[in-house]
């Protein structure tokens, strides 16, 4: 099999031929059809960021594959499956390879009518975007409540979050550092207002600012999230899934005690099977494939190595599918 392998701590990945039986281990065997490229994969391939926790390791936190053999009764030869997170690409071998052996705990059947390419284009980013959208829905945020802010808007999670929120009728403000280049793109996805990210990211403002957002989906963390919390209206909910700006959060208790703001997380890695199923069912019905196609770039397995710097420096727009057989 062909695979990208990170051999040791702090070293970048390299593309190589390996003997499957000596590298892979797990009860469900797959031909990998596609993987996808997430921010985390960039860190793993570059050998930075503490993502990889076992060496040698195949990166790639997403797998869309076809079962070739299964030691568990739930799966059989020919089944098309999706796997996001659950430790792959971090401590278990992941999707940047032509073959995989995985545990069944987090495997989801490819939704009916969804192509393997589209499932990979959605990937962890889209899955996480949907988990966050469901959190807002479950918190009772309605489309008529006011503007919903999405930060890191031109990135993978942000792009899909905008499309999903707009499809449900929410009014979306997209915060991006690339409005000049990507403003039209963000508007096509469904944003009805655009905000230069520097207004949020450059310095933590007052603990309470003018209430602008009924809710927010933050992929950026740090000063940006602090300002988002300070600008969230009474009773609003803020979902935090990422740290593209930083892991710090220079905030105060004021948004919580004076505005009853709720800050909640979204985590794709540990998500239980029931949530995975709910999110993928919703993705199959809510996400327009023309929007998904318009935000997707496809690369081959060898391209995953130089691509790390692209995603880590914020140059990638939307989603990237890895066609592991090319
Ligand atoms: N919790 C989970 O399970 C989970 C799942 C998936 C992703 N994540 C995390 O969510 C974040 C986004 O993931 P992704 O796959 O969407 O990554 P991505 O495609 O690289 O997008 C990140 C976006 O963040 C913005 N950004 C980058 N650097 C920034 C900075 N210094 N200050 C402010 N904004 C900045 C950029 O958007 P603009 O160019 O539009 O400004 C960039 O496109 C990452 O931190 C990732 O690790 C978490």
Measured from the CB, is residue 299 less than 6 Å from ligand 1?
no
Q: How far away, in angstroms, is 244 Cα from ligand 1 center?
A: 4
Per DSSP, the three-state class of 243 is coil
pLDDT at 49: 83
Which atom of ligand 1 sits closest to the CA of residue 197? 41
Q: For residues 99 and 68, what is the distance between their CA atoms, to the nearest angstrom?
A: 10
Residue in the block written with tokens 């796997």: 83
Is it true that the peptide bond before 103 is cis, omega within 30 degrees of 0?
no
Q: DSSP class of residue 300? A: E
- Percentage of the chain lying above the pLDDT 70 cut: 100
Measured from the CB, is residue 67 less than 6 Å from ligand 1?
no
**For ligand 1, atom 32, which residue shows the shortest CA distance?**
245
pLDDT at 66: 98
Measured from the CB, is residue 320 less than 6 Å from ligand 1?
no
Q: How far away, in angstroms, is 125 Cα from ligand 1 center?
A: 9
Q: Does residue 311 surpass a pLDDT of 90?
A: yes
With the most atoms of ligand 1 within 8 angstroms of its CB, the residue from 46, 219, 223, 238 to mutate is: 219
Q: Does residue 111 surpass a pLDDT of 90?
A: yes
- CATH fold for the domain made of 125-265: Rossmann fold (3.40.50)
Residue extents of the structural domains in the chain: 2-110+295-323, 125-265
Measured from the CB, is residue 220 less than 6 Å from ligand 1?
yes
- Percentage of the chain lying above the pLDDT 90 cut: 99
pLDDT at 238: 98
User: Which residues are 80's β-sheet partners?
Assistant: 66
- Could you tell me which CATH number the domain at 2-110+295-323 has? 3.90.180.10
Under 8 Å CB-to-CB from 288, ≥6 apart: which residues? Answer: 163, 167
Q: Within 12-107, where are the H helices?
A: 20-23, 39-46
Measured from the CB, is residue 222 less than 6 Å from ligand 1?
no
Using one digit for the tens of pLDDT, what is the confidence trace for 202-232?
Answer: 998 999 999 999 999 999 999 999 999 999 9
Same fold, 2-110+295-323 and 125-265: no
Q: Within 168-303, where are the H helices?
A: 179-189, 198-201, 222-230, 254-259, 273-286, 289-294
Measured from the CB, is residue 307 less than 6 Å from ligand 1?
no
pLDDT at 57: 97
With the most atoms of ligand 1 within 8 angstroms of its CB, the residue from 35, 130, 242, 275 to mutate is: 242
Using one digit for the tens of pLDDT, what is the confidence trace for 231-273?
Answer: 999 999 999 999 999 999 999 999 999 999 999 999 999 999 9
């Amino acid at each position: 099999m062909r695979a990208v392998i990170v051999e040791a701590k702090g070293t970048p990945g390299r593309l190589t031929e390996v003997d499957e039986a000596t590298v892979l281990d797990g009860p469900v065997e797959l031909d990998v059809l596609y993987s996808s490229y997430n921010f985390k994969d960039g860190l793993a391939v570059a050998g930075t960021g503490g993502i990889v926790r076992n060496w040698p390791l195949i990166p790639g936190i997403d797998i869309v594959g076809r079962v070739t053999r299964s030691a568990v009764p739930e799966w059989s030869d020919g089944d098309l499956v999706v796997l996001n997170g659950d430790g792959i690409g971090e401590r278990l071998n992941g999707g940047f390879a032509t073959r995989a052996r995985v545990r069944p705990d987090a495997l989801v059947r490819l939704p009916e009518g969804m192509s393997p390419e589209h499932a990979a284009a959605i990937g962890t980013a889209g899955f996480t975007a949907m988990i966050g959208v469901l959190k807002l829905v479950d918190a009772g945020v309605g489309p008529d409540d006011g503007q919903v802010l999405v930060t890191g808007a031109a990135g993978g999670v942000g792009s899909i979050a905008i499309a999903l929120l707009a499809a449900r009728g929410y009014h979306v403000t997209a915060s991006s550092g690339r409005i000049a280049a990507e403003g039209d793109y963000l508007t096509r996805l469904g944003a009805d207002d655009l905000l230069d990210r520097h207004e949020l990211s450059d310095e933590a403002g007052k603990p309470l600012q003018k209430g602008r957002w009924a809710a927010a989906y933050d992929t950026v963390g740090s000063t940006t999230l602090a300002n988002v919390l300070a600008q969230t209206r009474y009773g609003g909910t803020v979902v935090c899934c990422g740290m593209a700006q930083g892991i710090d959060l220079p905030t105060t208790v004021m948004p919580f005690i004076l505005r009853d703001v709720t800050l909640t997380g979204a985590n794709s890695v540990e998500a239980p099977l029931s949530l995975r199923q709910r999110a993928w069912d919703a993705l199959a019905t809510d996400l327009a494939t023309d929007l998904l196609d318009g935000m997707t770039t496809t690369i081959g397995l060898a391209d995953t190595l130089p691509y790390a710097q692209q995603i880590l420096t914020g140059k990638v727009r939307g989603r990237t599918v890895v066609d592991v057989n090319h």
